[in-house]
Amino acid sequence: MDILVARADALQPLGKKRKIHHSPRTPKGSSTDRTLHSVSKHTSVPKSFSRLPDAPTTYKHIANKKLRADLNRHTAQATRAKALLEDAEMLLGDEAGKIEVEGELEKTWRVGQDEIAEGAGQEAAKGRREWKLDGGPYRLRYTRNGRHLAIAGRTGHVATFDWMTGTLHSELQLQETCRDITFLHDHSHYAIAQKKYIFIYDRDGVELHCLKSHIVPTRLEFLPYHWLLASIGNAGYLKYQDTSTGQLLVEHRTKLGACTTMAQNAHNAVIHLGHQNGCVTLWTPNLPHPAVQLLAHLGPVVGLSVDPSQGGRYMSTAGKDGTVKVWDCRNWKGAVREWSVRSGGDVELEWSAKGSLAVASGGSVNVYATPSIHTPMHTKAPPPLYLTHPIPHRPLTSVRFAPFQDVLTIGHAAGLSSILVPGAGEPNFDSAEADPFENKKARREKEVKALLDKIQPDMISLDPEFVGSLAPPPKLTTVTTIDGKPPVEIPFARLPRLERLKASGKLDETEAAEAENEKDLDDNGKLKSREEREKRKQRGKGKSLKRYLRKQRKNVIDPTAVAIRKKLEKQREEKTRARLAAKNGEEPKKFSALDRFKRAP
């Protein structure tokens, strides 16, 4: 037996602490491996190994060793992954477009579309187009990969096409009012807000569904990761339809009347609505009331857009009062900056993927570029203009940036015009998310993958990072110290009732405080013994009043409760006075006129 233990000498019994042999000869620091030392001069460790995470969070406070080791490992891995992410940026192939000017006097907005188209490459110059159509003012929408375009004219002319190759998918003359159009998950389906209902068509223009629960819709938004089609109508009901299961998920009554302005935040799937009374409301499917409501304008809100470039941090609104405002969605205290557009009326807004803001108003489209549009400004000066383009066909009803292109398309009364905005588009796409060059097989595969990864609608919230974050500590345990011992955590179920009430916040402290005031004094002014107090306690007296008080919460000021409290106070005072009187024997009488005849005692 001892032989076995002796053989396994390298591993000593677990119970004993292992002795650490410090060799006295070698000074500290020089105890490295000799081989390693000789090799290290001529070699270099791969970057991924050599770069240690700069300051990983330590979990020294966690007692559980296994959990601590797990957490440490995960943090180190995450930090390393983050560091490696910076290296991966070198692999990005395409470069963003830009306009560079020399000197102060040259302005980018003086550069016209002809000049830009001339300077652009052959492929990019295709983005500058004019479509002359006579279907009334047009609304339009791109797919998420920027390849396909859907347009809907007010009078019912609807078309979807691949705008790069010019392949027409479908063209419909619906002969009724079309107010908005949106693609669903990809270009194979699209939804149109028509005169009375929403209709869903497939790529070839075959009507698939008529959504009769959406009545008189005005605007549509599709939340691609949740597969939800959101619509708002003249009745002011925001409705969410799940396009994967087909059920109407929820309808919210906004109570703010007809609404014609809607935008989604692509980073948290919150729907922004602009109302007639100047309010902007933010909605999620799981809240029956707006998550945020703010008074943005002194008149109807007509344009609304959320910036995708900063993770949905900025929102811009435009009102009928002719002002455009940029808001910080984390802090609603006033607009970051605001300015008024020269020609009032309906203003359309759209942010690009790189943070350019397009403002279409009156007869022109203005584009503002990124750093200046986000910097706070107290005056109402407009930000420096980046590009401007006049369009003589009023009204301009829709502006959309093409994803992954430097193209801005404007829908107006005489059709569509698309202009080039250098630097507006994200140059590098990710094939796993949206690929402009995907083939049929990839599209099909993506559809299945997206359905599998569909996020449940109740996970929409203002902060999308709450998924997978630490839950707040439950209230169901309390940490108590029992007679000076170190604090122990007692589960809720095993607490005494009073403690449980206290933990769940249902205990009313008023009674306790009153009981403290009302210390029972016996005739000699001493505290009565506990038994005596119990015995003398009059049951049932003033019970209903006290019960009423007990049911009230202390932090709520209720006139009835205040009155009752006062009444009880008065009763208590009377009682003490009576007790004092009893103690002092006779109450000291007032001096009466006849007292002068009293014989002195």
Partner 1 sequence: MVKISVLQHAPEAHLPIRPGDPTPTSRNLDPLMHPFARARERTRALNAAKMDRMFAKPFVDSLEGHMDAVEVLARQPGSLTTVASGSWDGGLILHNLSTRRQLFKVPQAHKGKVSGLCFAEGERLLSCGVDRNVKLWSISGSSETPLNVFPGKSAFNSIDHHRSDPLFATASNLVQIWDETKSAPISNLTFPTSTETITSVRFNLSESSVLASIGSDRTFTLYDIRTGKAERRVVMQMRSNALAWSPTFPTTILLASEDHNLYTFDIRHLTTPSQIYKAHVAAVMSCDWSPTGLEFVSGGWDRTVRIWKEGQGHTPEVYHTKRMQRVSSSIFSGDARFVLTGSDDGNVRIWKAKASDKLGVITARERAAMEYRESLKERWKMDTQVGKVARTRHLPKSVYQASKLKRTMLDAQRVKEERRRKHTRAGETKPKPARKKVVLVEQT
Window 123-152: residues binding partner 1 (CB under 8 A): 123-125, 127
Q: Report the distance separating Cα 216 and Cα 209, nearest Å.
A: 16
Residue found by looking up tokens 């922004």 in the block: 272
Interface residue with partner 1 among 186, 346, 348, 426 (CB under 8 A) is: 426
Residue found by looking up tokens 């002195």 in the block: 600
Is 99 or 158 the residue whose CB approaches partner 1 more closely?
99
Is 356 or 552 the residue whose CB approaches partner 1 more closely?
356
Is 454 or 502 the residue whose CB approaches partner 1 more closely?
454
Q: CB under 8 A: which stretch of 109-117, 195-203, 247-255, 337-345 binds partner 1?
A: 109-117
Q: CB under 8 A: which stretch of 24-32, 121-129, 298-306, 550-558 binds partner 1?
A: 121-129
Count CB-CB contacts under 10 A for residue 2: 6
Q: Report the distance separating Cα 366 and Cα 394, nearest Å.
A: 15
Q: How far is the CB of 326 from partner 1 (least distance, A)?
A: 19
Interface residue with partner 1 among 344, 345, 395, 427 (CB under 8 A) is: 427
Of 305-324, which residues contact partner 1 (CB under 8 A)? 308-309, 311
What are the residues whose beta carbons fall under 8 Å from the beta carbon of 445, sequence distance 6 or more?
none
For residues 331 to 360, the per-residue mask of contacts with partner 1, x marking binding by CB under 8 A and - elsewhere, is ------------------------------
Q: Report the distance separating Cα 356 and Cα 408, nearest Å.
A: 10
Question: Is residue 219 within 8 Å of 232, Cβ to Cβ?
Answer: yes
Of 220-239, which residues contact partner 1 (CB under 8 A)? 225
Q: Report the distance separating Cα 69 and Cα 448, nearest Å.
A: 37
Is 27 or 121 the residue whose CB approaches partner 1 more closely?
121
Q: Report helix, strand or coil for 555.
A: coil
Is 222 or 339 the residue whose CB approaches partner 1 more closely?
222
CA torsion sign for 380, 383, 385, 390 is negative
Q: Report the distance separating Cα 423 and Cα 474, nearest Å.
A: 49
For residues 489 to 528, the per-residue mask of contacts with partner 1, x marking binding by CB under 8 A and - elsewhere, is -----x----------------------------------
Interface residue with partner 1 among 4, 20, 36, 63 (CB under 8 A) is: 4
Q: How far is the CB of 284 from partner 1 (least distance, A)?
A: 13
Of 36-95, which residues contact partner 1 (CB under 8 A)? 85, 88-89, 91-95
Interface residue with partner 1 among 442, 498, 501, 521 (CB under 8 A) is: 442
Is 84 or 582 the residue whose CB approaches partner 1 more closely?
84
What are the residues whose beta carbons fall under 8 Å from the beta carbon of 593, sequence distance 6 or more?
none
Task: Count interface residues toward partner 1 (CB under 8 A).
Answer: 82
Of 246-285, which residues contact partner 1 (CB under 8 A)? 266-267, 269
Cα 327-398-344 angle, rounded to 5 deg? 65
Q: Report the distance separating Cα 375 and Cα 336, nearest Å.
A: 7
456 is a contact residue toward partner 1 (CB under 8 A): yes
Interface residue with partner 1 among 202, 321, 328, 438 (CB under 8 A) is: 438
Is 308 or 319 the residue whose CB approaches partner 1 more closely?
308
DSSP conformation class of 471: P
Interface residue with partner 1 among 136, 156, 278, 436 (CB under 8 A) is: 436
Q: How far is the CB of 412 from partner 1 (least distance, A)?
A: 23
Interface residue with partner 1 among 33, 54, 102, 204 (CB under 8 A) is: 102
112 is a contact residue toward partner 1 (CB under 8 A): no
Is 45 or 467 the residue whose CB approaches partner 1 more closely?
467
72: left (phi over 0), alpha (psi -120 to 50) or beta: alpha
Interface residue with partner 1 among 230, 420, 549, 564 (CB under 8 A) is: 420
Question: Is residue 222 within 8 Å of 184, Cβ to Cβ?
Answer: yes
At 254, which amino acid appears? T
- Nearest to residue 319, comparing CAs of 364, 291, 352, 279? 279
Q: Is 239 exposed, middle or buried (0-12, 13-18, 19+ CB in 10 A)?
A: buried
Interface residue with partner 1 among 98, 195, 475, 533 (CB under 8 A) is: 98
8 is a contact residue toward partner 1 (CB under 8 A): yes
- Nearest to residue 293, comparing CAs of 426, 462, 419? 462
- Backbone Cα Rg of the chain: 37
| Lookup: tokens for 142 | 């791109």
Residue 305, CA atoms < 13 Å, CB-side half-sphere: 24
Is 116 or 192 the residue whose CB approaches partner 1 more closely?
116
